[in-house]
Amino acid sequence: LLQEATQKIQDVKDSSSLNDLRVLYLGKKGPVQELMKGMKDLSKEEKPIFGQKVNQLKQDLSKMIEEKKEQLAALEMQKKIESEKIDITLPGRKPELGNAHPLNLVRQELEDLFIGLGYQVIEGDDIVDDEYCFERANIPKDHPARDMQDSLYIDPNRLLRTHTTAIQMVVLEESAPNLPIKVVCPGKVYRRDDDDATHSHQFMQMEGLVIGEKVTLADLKGTLEFMARKLFGQDRQIRFRPSYFPFTEPSVEVDVSCHICNGKGCPTCKGTGWIEILGAGEVHPNVLKMAGYDPEKCSGFAFGVGIERVAMLKYGIDDIRHFYTNDKRFNSTFKRYE
Ligand code: PHE
């Protein structure tokens, strides 16, 4: 019996078959137990001798099985380690990073362009005091120009900024009396507007502000021409049309020659060959005075450009709502991050 069991235990290949063997030999119905049971039929003298032998057999078998068990466990662990080995020389899988948002692309392009011209980029708070959004922009409480922008008030004195001109007013005050100032201020703005293909209650602007000695409308024109050509191609022309903003005097609206038809007239420019892209002007003397500057000693220009408008023209987007709905089919047409 011992010989047969030894052989079988040696030959076993995995721990579950080993367990079967243990049950087979040492279990309740196994031969060892059977021998024990047979002891009751033996004589008094034989019993202790036989008992000792059976016990010995039982111990030997247990020991053998135990040793084999350890051996197999070690072997199986070894196999497991082999199979879970990671080949660190395999190339990794690249996670998908998504696409740049067109508004960020335009914002980035504008920031790069103006940083290249020596401007600083300054952001501000979305919630501003009435004072900086309107009063300092030369729009007193009862001024009809307040109706030009429907605003969202949070309490009697604070509102969501309706234009990035609110940042301009903070920059002016904080810089006074130092000169020159050369900043662009990008950010979200908010208006009480019904959303449709060309209107959104929230959109993005970038304000430009330059103050120094004898900064003129000609400087503004050169700057905006440079910007228009960078954004829409080297052949672009710009033109000024007289306009009105309370915080600039004179004020202008700026058109770019249409980049689709090269100024010949097409549906995008409604046949005129020109596309309006922004409002601008020479900073009003009252604005300079309120911020602590002497309008006799300095002057400057400001402009405010709508990021959505530029992106729509540049990428041929026909509905402003595409920017905010996060449709993957729309987003994935723009530059991929790598
Ligand atoms: N703040 C104006 C607007 O939102 C744009 C503008 C900025 C005009 C600076 C002139 C100068 O419509």
Q: Is 301 in the pocket of ligand 1 (CB under 6 A)?
A: no
How remote is the CA of residue 251 from the centroid of ligand 1, in Å?
9
Q: In whole angstroms, give the CA distance from residue 293 to residue 306.
A: 28
Residue type, 327: D
- Which atom of ligand 1 sits closest to the CA of residue 205? 4
pLDDT tens, position by position, 190-242: 999 899 999 999 999 999 999 999 999 999 999 999 999 999 999 999 999 99
Kindly report the average pLDDT of the chain as a whole number.
94
Instruction: Give the pair of three-digit tokens for residue 235.
Output: 């052949």
**Is residue 35 exposed (0-12), middle (13-18) or buried (19+ Cβ within 10 Å)?**
middle
pLDDT at residue 187 tops 90: yes
Q: Measured from the CB, is residue 280 less than 6 Å from ligand 1? A: yes
SS3 sequence of 174-189: HHCCCCCEEEEEEEEE
Which amino acid is located at 174 in the chain? Answer: E
203 CB within 6 A, ligand 1: no
Question: Which of 240, 243, 247 has most ligand 1 atoms within 8 Å of its beta carbon, as the pocket-test mutant?
Answer: 247
Quick: pLDDT tens for 165-182.
999 999 999 999 999 999
Q: Residues 52-77: pLDDT tens digits?
A: 999 999 999 999 999 999 999 999 99
Which of 133, 149, 163 best tests ligand 1's pocket when mutated (most atoms within 8 Å of CB)?
163
Whole-number Å distance between alpha carbons of 327 and 20: 61
Atom of ligand 1 nearest to the CA of 306: 4
Residue 149: pLDDT above 80?
no
> 275: Cβ below 6 Å to ligand 1?
no
- Give me ligand 1 centre to Cα 161, in Å: 12
Is 131 marked within a binding site? no
First to last CA, the chain: 71
Q: Which atom of ligand 1 is nearest to the CA of 148?
A: 12
Distance CA 171, CA 175 (A): 6
Atom 9 of ligand 1, nearest CA residue = 303
pLDDT of residue 15: 87
Q: What is the pLDDT of residue 190?
A: 97
How far apart CA 264 and CA 337 sit, in angstroms, is 37
* Percent residues over pLDDT 70 in the chain: 100
Residue 304 CB–ligand 1 contact under 6 Å: yes
Atom of ligand 1 nearest to the CA of 163: 4
Instruction: Assess whether the C-beta atom of 187 lies below 6 angstroms from ligand 1.
Output: no
pTM summary value: 0.74
Instruction: Looking at the CA of residue 208, tell me the nearest atom of ligand 1.
Output: 9
pLDDT above 90: residue 243: yes
Instruction: Return the residue whose CA atom lies nearest to atom 2 of ligand 1.
Output: 304
Mean pLDDT of 320-336: 91
Ligand 1 centroid, distance to 293 Cα (angstroms): 20
The verdict on the CB of residue 302 being under 6 Å from ligand 1 is yes
